[in-house]
Amino acid sequence: MFVRTPKFIQLLFPSAIWKKETSSKELWLTFDDGPEEIVTDFILDTLKKLNIKASFFLIGEQIVKFPELTKKILENGHFIGNHSFSHIHGYFNKNEKYIYDIEMGQKIINEKAVEMGIEKSNIFRPPFGRITSSQIKLLKHKYKIIMWDVFSWDFKKKISKKRLFNNVTKNISAGSIIVFHNNNKSYNNLVESLENILIELKKQGYSFSTTW
């Protein structure tokens, strides 16, 4: 169970962004999945309380289901990216189907950007972090493919508060891209730990960026 993504895995997919180059103590806070009732509101309230901006990688069919939550994410000044339309797995689907699903997700995100009068996003995160070299080759000219170097494991049912806290706070460095989840599996763990984790990161002198 990797928390920090090993270098050898990062080297397998050099076209993807695993960590941001920065000379400042900046972090990139990301939330995968959603939007989802209750969970998204909790995350947004916590971020607002601490004056932190984040990037939300949203699922197209969830945007369709909860358009007002998507609008709320954007109104709160956060950034949204494409997490496909149906949370499709890159390893288990042919390229044609995989790319189509991503394009469907992007279409919905673009429509929301036009509706809100904001710049369209071109960032994509593969569901499950699973993507093949051929899929990257097909996508990299249109999208910035965003992976991560710190994975919180917040959706693990039996993860302790201490373990979740340490997964993030003990493994970050300048430029780290951190993954949390915006779904029901993560909700209880987020309620217990998210605010404390973010307070600690701020205590360590980190700021948060959504510039990709």
Looking at residue 91, its amino acid is: Y
Q: Known catalytic residue: 33?
A: no
Rounded to 5 degrees, φ, ψ at 82 are: -90, 125
Q: Is 78 a catalytic residue?
A: no
b/e sequence 2-33, b meaning 16+ C-beta within 10 Å: eeebeeeebeebeebbbbbeeeeeebbbbbbb
Show which residues are catalytic: 32, 181
